[in-house]
Amino acid sequence: MSGRIRPVETREVTVQAPSIDETREQVLAQLPEGWDLTDSAATMPKASTMITLNAKMARRDGAEEIEAEDFAALRAKVPEGWQLLSVREV
Report d(CA 60, CA 57) in Å as an integer: 9
CB atoms within 10 A of CB 86: 10
User: Using the 8-state DSSP alphabet, how is residue 90 labeled?
Assistant: -
Q: Please spell the DSSP secondary structure of 26-43, one letter per residue.
A: HHHHT--TTEEEEEEEEE
Structural domain boundaries in the chain: 2-88
Can you give the pLDDT at residue 26? 97
Instruction: Look at the pTM and tell me if it is higher than 0.85.
Output: no
Convert the pLDDT of each residue in 31-86 to its tens digit. 999 999 999 999 998 888 999 999 999 999 999 999 999 999 999 999 999 999 99
